[in-house]
C-alpha cells in the first residue's frame, strides 16, 4: 500500500499515521520527524532545517525532496509506505510524481484530513509528543495515562518547539497558500480521499481504511 496523508498543522496526520502504519504494516515516513531527528543529532541537514522550522517556514525543496527520494529507495519501502507531511507544495508534489515514476510505484491514495481553522490552535497548543516513538498526545482530548509519559513505550513527552501561538499562525499561512493547492492536484489524479478529522481518532482511522478500500 502506497499512501500519503496531508492536512493543516494539528489536523492529526501523525496520530492517524501511527495507526495506519501498524494496520498496513508499512513504514511511516514523516519529513517533520526526519528533520526533528536531524536537529537533535546536529547534522548538516538539521542545522539547515532548524532555521526554517523555528520560523514556521518550509525547509527548501532541494533539501526536502532529496531526503524523501533517498528514504523511498530504502528496502523497507518495497512493501509500501505512508508519507506524512510531504508533499507540502505543488513543486514537491511534482517532484514526488517524478520519483515514483522512476521507482515504478503508483500511489494508491492521498488522504486529506479536513479540520476547521477554529480547532487548530487549541489542538496544537495542547499537543505533546513522545521523544522516543513519536506518538502524539493531547492534554485535553487524548491524555496520556501518566502525566508526561508515553502510554505505549514509556518515553518522555515533550512539547514541540514550533507548537507556539506565534509559529502556528505562520504555519497556517504557509498551509493555506502553499500546501492547499496540492489537494486539487491529487483530486485530478483521481486518488484524493477527504476525511473529517474532527471526530474520535478511531472513527477517523476506520473512515480512512474504508475509503482506501473503495479506491
Ligand atoms: P510537521 O511535523 O509535519 O508538522 O513538520 C514540522 C515542520 O518541518 C514544518 O513546519 C516545516 O518547517 C518542516 N517540514 C516538514 N515537512 C516538510 C516538507 N515536506 N517541506 C518543507 N518543510 C517541511
User: b/e for 46-62, b at 16 or more Cβ within 10 A?
Assistant: bebbbebbeebebbeee
Q: Say what the pLDDT of residue 11 is.
A: 95
Q: Is residue 140 part of a domain?
A: no
Q: Say what the pLDDT of residue 13 is.
A: 94
By alpha-carbon position, which residue is closest to atom 8 of ligand 1? Answer: 32
Identify the CATH number of the domain in which residue 188 sits: 3.40.50.300
Model confidence band, residue 170 (pLDDT cutoffs 50, 70, 90): very high
Q: Is residue 214 part of a domain?
A: no
Q: Is residue 182 part of a domain?
A: yes
Q: What pTM does this model have?
A: 0.93
Say how many domains are in the chain: 1
* pLDDT for 133 beyond 90: no
Q: Say what the pLDDT of residue 134 is.
A: 85
- Ranges of beta strands (E only) in 47-151 are 81-84, 109-114, 127-130, 136-138
Q: Is residue 168 part of a domain?
A: no
Q: Is the CB of 63 under 6 A from ligand 1?
A: no
| Whether residue 88 lies in the annotated active site | yes
Q: Say what the pLDDT of residue 123 is.
A: 92
Q: Is residue 30 part of a domain?
A: yes
Q: Is residue 127 part of a domain?
A: no
Q: Is residue 163 part of a domain?
A: no
Q: Is residue 130 part of a domain?
A: no
Query: β-strands 109-114, 2-7: how paired?
Result: parallel
Task: Residue 87: give the domain boundaries.
Answer: 2-117+174-206
Q: Say what the pLDDT of residue 141 is.
A: 87
Residue 147 dihedral angles phi and psi, to the nearest 5°: -55, 130
Q: Say what the pLDDT of residue 172 is.
A: 94
Over residues 168-187, the mean pLDDT reads: 96
3 bridge partner residues:
82, 109
Helix, strand and coil percent figures for the chain, each rounded to 5: 50, 15, 35
Residue with cell 479540520: 115
Quick check: 178 and 172 in contact, CB under 8 A? no
- Report pLDDT digits (tens) over 24-79: 999 999 999 999 999 999 999 999 999 999 999 999 999 999 999 999 999 999 99
Over residues 96-115, the mean pLDDT reads: 97
Q: Is the CB of 58 under 6 A from ligand 1?
A: yes
Query: What is Dmax (Cα atoms) for the chain?
Result: 46
Amino acid at each position: 500500500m502506497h499512501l500519503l496523508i496531508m492536512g493543516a498543522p494539528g489536523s492529526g496526520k501523525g496520530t492517524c499515521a501511527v495507526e495506519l502504519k501498524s494496520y498496513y504494516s508499512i513504514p511511516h515516513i514523516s519529513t517533520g520527524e526526519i528533520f526533528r531527528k536531524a536537529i537533535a543529532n546536529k547534522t548538516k541537514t538539521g542545522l539547515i532545517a532548524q532555521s526554517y522550522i523555528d520560523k514556521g517556514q518550509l525547509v527548501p525543496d532541494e533539501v526536502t525532496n532529496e531526503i524523501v527520494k533517498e528514504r523511498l529507495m530504502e528496502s523497507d519501502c518495497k512493501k509500501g509506505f505512508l508519507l506524512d507531511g510531504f508533499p507540502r507544495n505543488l513543486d514537491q508534489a511534482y517532484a514526488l510524481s517524478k520519483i515514483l515514476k522512476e521507482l515504478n510505484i503508483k500511489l494508491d491514495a492521498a488522504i486529506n484530513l479536513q479540520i476547521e481553522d477554529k480547532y487548530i490552535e487549541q489542538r496544537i497548543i495542547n499537543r505533546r509528543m513522545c521523544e522516543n516513538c513519536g506518538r502524539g498526545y493531547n492534554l485535553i482530548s487524548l491524555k496520556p495515562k501518566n502525566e508526561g509519559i508515553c502510554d505505549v513505550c514509556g518515553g518522555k513527552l515533550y512539547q514541540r518547539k514550533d507548537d507556539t501561538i506565534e509559529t502556528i499562525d505562520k504555519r497556517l499561512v504557509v498551509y493555506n497558500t502553499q500546501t492547499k493547492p496540492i489537494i486539487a492536484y491529487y483530486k485530478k489524479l483521481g486518488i484524493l480521499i477527504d476525511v473529517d478529522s474532527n471526530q474520535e481518532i478511531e472513527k477517523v482511522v476506520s473512515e480512512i481504511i474504508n475509503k482506501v478500500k473503495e479506491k
